[in-house]
Amino acid sequence: MTTDMNEDMSGGGVAGADTSGRTGRGGDMAADLRGVRVIAVEQAVAAPLCTRHLADLGAEVIKIERPGGGDFARGYDEAVHGLASHFVWLNRGKRSVVLDLKAEPGRKVLRRLLRDADVLVSNLAPGALERIVPDEELARLNPRLVRCYLSGYGATGPYATRKAYDALVQGEAGTITATGTPETPAKPGVSLADLAGGTYALTAVTAALYARERTGLGKRIDVALFDVLLEWMSPLLLAELHAGSAPPPAGLRHASIAPYGPYTTAEGQDVLIAVQNEGQWRRLCRTVLDEPGLLDDPAFASNTSRVRHRERTERAVQARLSGLSTAEVTERLERADVPYARLNQIGEVLDHPQAAATGRWSEATLPDGRAVRVVTSPLHREPEAPGGRRVPALGEHTADVLRELGLSQAEMDAPLTPPASAPLSGTSPSDASPSGTPASGTPASGTATSGTATSGTPTSGTSAPGTSAPAAPAL
């Protein structure tokens, strides 16, 4: 998601060796970006997904978090021993630093971090980060810096300033009405816009780093979640443009292919079957359905015809499979080499034989030292070493990072005390989030107010239970 600076941030990091809190990394790509330093001014899902995968590839990722609560995703739930599942998923292997970016000391540290960084990734609302440090200034400060900005709708156009939670962007891009059924549109069970945006940002950043090897220069990258979803909606948009109408949503069926979807066996279990070509259709009829006569029916002569006569197609397939056991159906599908799958519940995926055989489970370490089971990065072909990478507590690396920047002990011992009311340029006082820390130097407990966070569910902005918030040293 994108986030308004008003809902913002605190955190920073620095140059140096691999200090990302990793205790082990497995896989064939885990060191490809070793030596690359990423500054992540991020919240929620879209940007954190991009930077988590940069960390998977070996980059050092310094996560900037706001005082008082940090990344909003820390408060989404308490599913993982008191920590939010989204935060554990997207932030292992990162360093957390608390900076108040509404105050000049915090902004000064951010500039120092960016001066020597390789990559900046941010999903603040359009223009929010540039009110702190304009992109042109960044290009002068560090010509090699790759600057990637994620937003809901981009920096221009009539929707540029709109809040951009995942479901809202999906609604505007048509993905919700393309999902489910005509009577009941549905949002996918994962944050599709955020995941798409973060993935495209990852691609663009790695390409820019490759180009920098030739040119010696970084570049600006803008990724809009709306633009990304339009790309993914292209088949439906092209059909609407050139055929006059897009295929209607088909639920678990495929809008443009038949037979394709769930079919119920004699025990009432569903088996997903996907027929992609005429050879598979012939084998389905002869070997699985034992109905070779279907091949002589003009209604089933081609995929286009089967889609046109979808109800007849589905009835013909279902009528035969409903009399067979699940074991009989899957045995025949295997013998006929017709693609199929189970319709698994979430709990069943945990014991999936393919995941076990290919090392899809690893461990991450929580701030309290507890090891928890997590999904291995898809960029790695082996599970990570026991202990996994650490999920940072809020502000856990602040002191280390500031020390690495060369701040004096006196500067680090003084509390961070930003002005009581210092809204960002371009925001109203009512929009500005509380900021500052008490005299003890620990981050204030204030929560951010209005703004956009690219990921779905707005949260209270408080730190997740189970995390600690070490003192925020003076900047």
Residue 268 forms part of a structural domain: no
Residue 467 forms part of a structural domain: yes
Q: List beta partners, residue 97.
A: 64
Residue 270 forms part of a structural domain: no
**Residue numbers of the domain that contains 317:** 277-338
pLDDT tens digit sequence for 113-159: 999 999 999 998 878 899 999 999 999 999 999 999 999 999 899 99
Residue that is last in its domain, among 338, 360, 385: 338
Residue type, 215: T
Q: Are residues 429 and 286 in the same domain?
A: no
Q: Coil, strand, or helix at residue 352?
A: coil
Mean pLDDT score of the chain: 82
Q: Are residues 305 and 356 in the same domain?
A: no
Q: Are residues 310 and 245 in the same domain?
A: no
Residue 353 forms part of a structural domain: yes
CB 254 within 8 A of CB 310: no
According to the model, what pLDDT value does residue 426 have? 33
Residue that is last in its domain, among 318, 338, 358: 338
Q: Are residues 397 and 329 in the same domain?
A: no
Integer Cα distance of 6 and 121 in angstroms: 18
- Average pLDDT in the 226-242 region? 95
Residue 194 is a catalytic residue? yes
Residue 264 forms part of a structural domain: no
Q: Are residues 217 and 331 in the same domain?
A: no
Cis peptide, bond prior to residue 298, ω within 30 of zero: no
Residue 255 forms part of a structural domain: no
pLDDT tens digit sequence for 390-409: 999 999 999 999 999 987 76
Residue type, 129: L
**pLDDT over 70, % of the chain:** 79
CATH number at residue 147: 3.40.50.10540
Burial class (CB in 10 A: 0-12, 13-18, 19+), 187: middle
Q: Are residues 45 and 143 in the same domain?
A: yes
- Average pLDDT in the 173-196 region? 92
Residue 260 forms part of a structural domain: no
Q: Are residues 212 and 301 in the same domain?
A: no
Residue that is last in its domain, among 289, 318, 338: 338
Q: Are residues 241 and 303 in the same domain?
A: no
Q: Are residues 323 and 358 in the same domain?
A: no
Q: Are residues 217 and 359 in the same domain?
A: yes
Domains: count for the chain: 2
According to the model, what pLDDT value does residue 30 have? 66
Residue 267 forms part of a structural domain: no
Q: Are residues 153 and 175 in the same domain?
A: yes
Identified catalytic residue from 100, 118, 166, 194: 194
Q: Are residues 334 and 355 in the same domain?
A: no
- Tokens representing 344 are 């698994």
